[in-house]
Amino acid sequence: EAHPDKAAEVERRFNGKLADGVFDDLPTFVFGKDKALATRKFSETCLNAVASKSPEMMGGSADLTGSNLSHIQKAGDFQKNTPEGRMIRFGVREHAMSAICNGMFAYGGVRPFCATFLQFAGYALGAMRCSALSNFGVIYIMTHDSIGLGEDGPTHQPIEMLESLRSMPNMNVCRAADANEMAACYQIALQSVGTPTMITATRGTVAPLEHSSREKAMKGGYAVITEEGEGAPDLVFIATGSEVGFCVEAAKTLQSEHSIRTRVVSMPCQEIFLAQDEEYRRSVLPGNVPTLSVEASAEHGWHRFSHAQIGMTRFGASGPASELFKKFGFTAENAVSKGKELVEFYKKHGSVPDLNARPTFK
């Protein structure tokens, strides 16, 4: 009674309610004005935007803060003599880090986050599974999310990790293509109090997107480029993260040079997209139009959304990111080639199988 404001704040935190205006400072990317950056840079901006208005947020990295860009500005370390600190130096202990975050969430009043490279999520999977099983809304920040991390080679390049985590019940897996989508990912993460969210991010710079939208990305998937003219498109690309940019480039080439009317769908979060109603899902992915998924990760899991896939079917390699993307087919040129091939395949073989024409058992 003597401190009503403090009492209300404690009650808010322990009830898992978000602070007023928590999303007000999330960035909006302005095409043609703002600088293209790696999505880990956008993640850093978003983390600080929400953390500045969410004093209950605290966490850290498994000794990779400088690479994960997971530091809350002006926040000191949580130590015996500095209990007001919000940063925890977990050390190279990915499983322990995730387990500690579970404990903090279970205790209440704290919204924990932790970070490492995406490939190292493998060390934390048991604790991450516990987050999902226990309905703990822990926020996982996983950078260096594809073969695009370069010279560290296949030991650090995640191939199966995205699909491994997407297959886990009650786990949001977000892979943003730019700043607007990254803002949506952080909003999804904070609003998902009973679901852990993994936010993945690139090491390298991503292409700026003219028509990306935080509001649309909140639906998990949306058309970032629509086909020209009337009627259904001739081809649909569906991509995530750094691969969206070159799919947009490929779509423009297919339209201008081959008269193939192409839509590009960005899908930052499959789980959120699948939670939308059927009408919306069909408006984005018709199902009976040749659809090609493009992600620098395992092909598995994309078969329910696409008729063909450009993905990884082997471990990566050591080399500059640009050379690796070219080697494994993640270029606009290869997307054009495979897109044409897919359209021609169904012209020759008749009707396109409708991916949406399957029963939903209850």
Cβ 179 vs Cβ 42: under 8 Å: yes
Q: How many C-beta atoms lie closer than 10 Å to residue 70's C-beta?
A: 25
Closest C-alpha to 312, from 77, 150, 147, 178: 147
The radius of gyration of the chain from alpha carbons, rounded to an integer in Å, stands at: 21
User: Which of 344-349's residues contact partners 24+ apart within 8 Å by CB, and which partners?
Assistant: 345/290, 346/290, 346/307
HEC per residue, the chain: CCCHHHHHHHHHHHCCCCCCCCCCCCCCCCCCCCCCCEHHHHHHHHHHHHHCCCCCEEEEECCCHHHHCCCCCCCCECECCECCCCEEECCCCHHHHHHHHHHHHHHCCCEEEEEEEHHHHHHHHHHHHHHHHCCCCCEEEEECCCHHHCCCCCCCCCCCHHHHHHCCCCCEEEECCCHHHHHHHHHHHHHCCCCCEEEEECCCECCCCCCCCHHHHCCCCEEEECCCCCCCCCEEEEECCCHHHHHHHHHHHHHHHHCCCEEEEECCEHHHHHCCCHHHHHHHCCCCCCEEEEEEEECCCHHHCCCEEEEECCCCCCCCHHHHHHHCCCCHHHHHHHHHHHHHHHHHHCCCCCCCCCCCCC
Query: Is 230 annotated in the active site?
Result: no
Given the residues 44, 56, 94, 163, select the one marked as catalytic. 94
Q: For tokens 């208005």, name the residue.
A: 53
Active-site residue list: 94
